[in-house]
Structure 1
Amino acid sequence: MRGRIAVAAALVLLLGGCASTPTSKSTAVRPSLITAGPEVRTATGEAARRAAEVTAAWPGSAAQQAWEHGYFPLQDTTEWPPEGAFRDGADKAAYLAGHIDLATTLPVSVSGTTEVTFADGSRLALPQRSAKAVLDSLTRQRSACATGCDTRLTVTAVQPGTTTVATSRGQAVIPVWEFTITGYDRPFRYPAVLSQAPARTTPVPDPAPAAGATTLRSVSADGLVLTAFVPHGGCDTVRPGEVHETDRAVVLIGRTAPTKSGRPCNDLLLSTPVEFRLSRPLGARAVLGLADGRPQTPAPQ
């Protein structure tokens, strides 16, 4: 969260030098993906110097110790809908609007804790995310209902299950809650445990202005291409990004340039997904934030 705040602050500085017209604050828009080229683009300049400081502070830091012994998913674990969901647009609209009714009893944990099991057999006990917390997140309105507003979905059963996810410690089996919804043969699954909050790297240099900072979005199956959001102003052009790599960590650097259009710049803050190609698969290496040195896990999409 602090990393994202730093990014937002940097955007304000970024837009300060651009002629602007008064507009109301706008929600970020995500234009089309900028794909990675066939070659690695190595970081240069001041951003590369900052990235080197960040990666040098990583080995032996408290954040690295937590990364190697905690639970940090490297994929989006927000939810796992059944294949083919949804049956129609009305069902999807109802789901996104939180029009969900409960027609069963929710299971309750006695201990309030659960376990994540890693590929090496080690286990980590963590606070359990309750089935009620999942239901509350589903019924809380998440988007306006434009069509199919009369449709409601009914949960008829909730039971514990497991799924496998990629983490900073390799593959791990995590607990999930499986929600059976009327009309669907397979359940909707939600994590019963949440990622731990990455610790700050110490002794990392003081947080720097976030020019070039990015937010990790996803990691390709082969670990060679990372996709990250690059923040920028409405009068900027997003260019292919650069990468700083070590044997322990990776820092992604977004690149933007003012658009010479002769038109005034508005106050719209944008966030464009950009692909970054690595020289070798990411593996167990951490993706560190350029501004704060914190390890990043994929942002929910």
Structure 2
Amino acid sequence: MNTHAKGVLGTLLVTGLGFCLLASCGKGSPGDGSHTESAQSQKRRARQVAEAWEGSASASIWNKGYYPMGDVVQGPPSGWHSQADKRAFEAKNYVLSGKLPTAGAQQGKVSWKNGDALDRPLSSAQAAYDSLALNNTKGPHLTVTGARLGEATIVTSRGEAKVPAWLFTLHGYDEPLKRLAVSPSRLPKSPIKQLGQGESGGLRSLAGLADMPNDGRFVTVVATHGSCDDGPVVKAFETDQSVVLYAAVVGEREGPCNASMAEQRVKVELREPVADRILIDALTGRPIPYADRNGSSPSWT
């Protein structure tokens, strides 16, 4: 499986002891043992996860639900007029100038290309605004002048779908900012338990999905690594129903590690397009959520 690491997304400070436990640095770490043995152990875990999900009640719930795999907030299609506006969007800095709708439908319909549809609770315009406008500080900001209910297109776990969305008008823009107006379905419980510290065989959890093209044979995920290794590597175990991604690091070295952990985008090539197969993290045994590139919470938890 070919992987290509691209760009460090950010750095998270942790305690030195906690980092060494997580990063498997130095002697006595969970990643000890030959490289071949670790690779076999990791692939074996990925196979176990795939087998646990296949035909399970959890898989049935997943296949009937709505789980967005892209940004739930979409800026104007033609882009931002200035770097200041772009920074305001990334900082979620907004000012409300005008009134938002106060009444509307209680349910919204998610519609897929194959004709499937699902009703989901519809958020109010105010709740949608509050979820995207997390800051109201001095400096660059975007001014919202109103909103109306419309729709947006987003990639989901079941393919591309049209989803109800609040369309917010912005001062100075002809095109609206869109915020999806329905909440994701509740996640099913994983049919396999997460591996504990010391039994992971060098596996690491993934921070999230960064990109999943509609019909592409590549997915990009956010993986972690530390200062005592040469970076992350992510491989895939594929079945007809799932793609289990298993992440580790290469080039681990003995010695002191500083208290930092870097997040890095890793592009993973698959044998076949993801389509409607479930993407699962081998370490946790749970579906991999989409991770906002600006550091927000995943689109579902």
TM-score by length of 2: 0.77
Residue in 2 that maps onto 1:171: 160
Residue in 2 that maps onto 1:243: 236
Secondary structure (helix, strand or coil) at the match of 1:161 reads strand
Residue in 2 that maps onto 1:40: none
Partners of 2:140 and 2:283 in 1: CA distance: 45
> Deviations for 1:216-248, whole angstroms, at most 9, x for unmatched residues?
222134331111111222222125422111111
In the comparison of the two structures, how many residue pairs are matched? Answer: 263
Secondary structure (helix, strand or coil) at the match of 1:236 reads coil
Q: Tell me, yes or no, if the aligned pair for 2:214 and 2:275 is still in contact at 8 Å.
A: no
Structure 1 residue 78: deviation in Å? 2.4
Q: Cα gap change, 1:197/1:241 in structure 2, threshold over 3 Å: closer, same or farther?
A: same
Secondary structure (helix, strand or coil) at the match of 1:93 reads helix
Structure 1 residue 46: deviation in Å? 0.4
> Does 1:272 find its partner at 2:280?
no
Secondary structure (helix, strand or coil) at the match of 2:248 reads strand
Structure 1 residue 151: deviation in Å? 4.5
Residue in 1 that maps onto 2:76: 82
Q: Cα gap change, 1:263/1:177 in structure 2, threshold over 3 Å: closer, same or farther?
A: same
In the alignment, structure 1 segments of 5+ residues that lack a partner are 1-7, 20-42
Instruction: Look up the equivalent residue of 1:73 and give its one-letter code.
Output: P
| Aligned ranges 1:52-131 → 2 under 5 Å | 52-74=47-69, 76-131=70-125
Instruction: Look up the equivalent residue of 1:68 and give its one-letter code.
Output: N
**Which structure's relative contact order is higher, taking Cα pairs within 8 Å and 6+ residues apart?**
1
Q: Tell me, yes or no, if the aligned pair for 2:168 and 2:178 is still in contact at 8 Å.
A: yes
Partners of 1:14 and 1:150 in 2: CA distance: 38
Q: Cα gap change, 1:223/1:297 in structure 2, threshold over 3 Å: closer, same or farther?
A: farther
Residue in 2 that maps onto 1:234: 227
Structure 2 residue corresponding to 1:198, chosen from 168, 171, 187: 187
Q: Cα gap change, 1:196/1:18 in structure 2, threshold over 3 Å: closer, same or farther?
A: farther
Secondary structure (helix, strand or coil) at the match of 2:250 reads strand
Q: Cα gap change, 1:119/1:51 in structure 2, threshold over 3 Å: closer, same or farther?
A: same
Partners of 1:132 and 1:184 in 2: CA distance: 20
Structure 1 residue 300: deviation in Å? 1.7
Q: Tell me, yes or no, if the aligned pair for 1:223 and 1:281 is still in contact at 8 Å.
A: yes
Q: Cα gap change, 1:213/1:150 in structure 2, threshold over 3 Å: closer, same or farther?
A: closer
Structure 1 residue 12: deviation in Å? 5.2
In the alignment, structure 2 segments of 5+ residues that lack a partner are 1-14, 28-37, 294-301
Instruction: Look up the equivalent residue of 1:130 and give its one-letter code.
Output: S
RMSD: 2.8
> Deviations for 1:97-119, whole angstroms, at most 9, x for unmatched residues?
44422222212344533221222
> Deviations for 1:114-152, whole angstroms, at most 9, x for unmatched residues?
22122233321112222112221333229xx8xxx4444
> Does 1:49 find its partner at 2:44?
yes
| Percent identity over paired residues | 30
